[in-house]
Amino acid sequence: MQVRFDNLRLEKLYVTPLTELKGKQAYPIEVIKQFKKRIPVLMAIGKLDELRAFRVLNFEYLKGNRKGGCSIRLNDQYRLIFEPISENEIKVILVTEISKHYE
């Protein structure tokens, strides 16, 4: 599966090594580490429902204003929110944001 980022900031966060991140970051370093670990998991799956096998990810389809999106856990507070592009065989996932779960 391919991963496409919704904005340049998220893409840059993923491709930049942790040692090269400069200045204050928008997310805690532990959240950034988990983000970098989760993207390869998204790339490795063939279908979205395969994420359910990874219980630690706490994969879920979103409701309300974010209906049509999905999320996986980065830690207790932060979730990686993404949108599947096609329904049958998901080839591309659009990573939209890293958000605090209860805000």
* 79: number of Cβ within 10 Å: 23
Give residue 37's pLDDT. 95
Give residue 101's pLDDT. 65
pLDDT band for 96, please (50, 70, 90 cuts). confident
Does the domain at residues 6-16+27-100 carry the CATH identifier 3.30.2310.20? yes
Q: Rounded to a whole number, what is the distance in angstroms from the first to the last CA of the chain? A: 30
Question: What would the pLDDT profile of 1-44 be if each residue is shown by its tens digit?
Answer: 888 898 888 999 999 999 998 888 888 999 999 999 999 999 88
And the tokens for 84?
């599947």
Specify the pTM. Answer: 0.86
Cα distance between residue 64 and residue 12, in whole Å: 29
Question: What would the pLDDT profile of 42-94 be if each residue is shown by its tens digit?
Answer: 988 888 889 999 999 999 999 998 898 899 999 888 999 998 887 555 556 77
Give residue 7's pLDDT. 87
